[in-house]
Amino acid sequence: MGLQKKVTGRGYYAMLLPMAVLLLLFIYYPIVRGMGTAFMHYTMMNLSLTRFNGLENFVAIFANPNIKFLQILGNTALWVVFSLAGQFILGFTLALLLRKPFKGRGVYTGCVFYTWALSGFAIGLLWSWLFNGQFGIVNDLFMKAGLLKTPVGFLSNPRYALPSVIVANIWYGIPFFAIMLLAALQSVPRELYESAEIDGAGKARQLFQITIPYIKSTITTTILLRFMWIMNFPDVIYGMTGGGPANSTNILATEMINKITKSYDFGQGSAVGLIIVVILFIFAFFYLRVVAKKELSL
């Protein structure tokens, strides 16, 4: 009892203090500092000219004649929507297949999920070799199957570059959905399926009336998290194309890094980062609002 009284007083705040300090130093301070930098002329080419410049960074980004901002926004939308849809559909299918026990399931599951632990940049390099226009295995397979007569520059042709990096990103993200949804599927009571079978419900009806409603909260959370991660995930693109050719694979996240690593312009890089934050905030607000309305209407 005496020990409990000691812990419930100032002791709790003392134990929380180290974590609070770490959060302030490594999470909130960089966020606030980055937001402030977005409104400054801050370039490593001449630090003596660092000053507050209002909205000039945003105007320069929108009015850049060499890199059209609308093209970057379009690329980002296609990158996020198709990657998310592909990862969810294939990940959910994989989770359904892995739900039932079979011989060697543990080994197979470990091999599938192992790819999620690999570096995104390394995955990008791997897929850049597969899609290589001269010696890539994808061209070789398509030509042997009779689908192509001559090799295609999947990553050098602006027409095919974005679909190619999206395919690689879908492959990379499938294990995440499979892991999350498989854990949720294992919590669905078996009795529900047995009762549905007695009532004559088929597999499709069981899926849409039992499985999906039961794991709806997990689906909602994973889609929101994955949306944010994909939008902030330039690793695969950087490993495969670096944002080219002709900006055909340039998204907001790669443009932000380009501003910092190639132009050394931290002001404009922070401005692009702030645009990403605003887009994610708006999406999360309306997404959660729509989900909440649907739950209330049920």
CB-based contact 269:253 (threshold 8 Å): no
- Mean pLDDT of all residues in 24-46: 92
What DSSP state is assigned to residue 210? I
Return the amino acid letter for 139.
N
CATH number for position 181: 1.10.3720.10
Residue 55 lies in a domain: no
Note whether residue 52 is domain-resident.
Answer: no
Does residue 55 have a pLDDT over 70?
yes
Reported confidence tier of residue 8, pLDDT bands at 50, 70, 90: low
Record the pTM: 0.88
Per the domain annotation, does 284 fall within a domain? Answer: yes
The pLDDT value recorded for residue 298 is 61
Answer whether residue 7 shows pLDDT above 80. no
What are the pLDDT digits (tens) for 276-291?
999 999 999 999 898 8
The reply to whether 258 falls in a domain is yes
Q: Residue 239 is part of which domain span?
A: 68-296
The domain tally of the chain equals: 1
Write out pLDDT tens, residues 132-180: 988 899 999 999 999 888 889 999 999 999 999 999 999 999 999 998 9
Specify the pLDDT at position 4: 54
104 or 158: which leads in pLDDT = 158
**How many contiguous H segments (helices) and E segments (strands) does the chain have?**
16, 2
Q: Nearest to residue 177, comparing CAs of 104, 115, 262, 106?
A: 115
The pair phi, psi for residue 109, each rounded to 5°, is -65, -40
Q: How far apart are CA 15 and CA 66, in angstroms?
A: 52
Q: Examine residue 212 and state whether it is found in any structural domain, yes or no.
A: yes
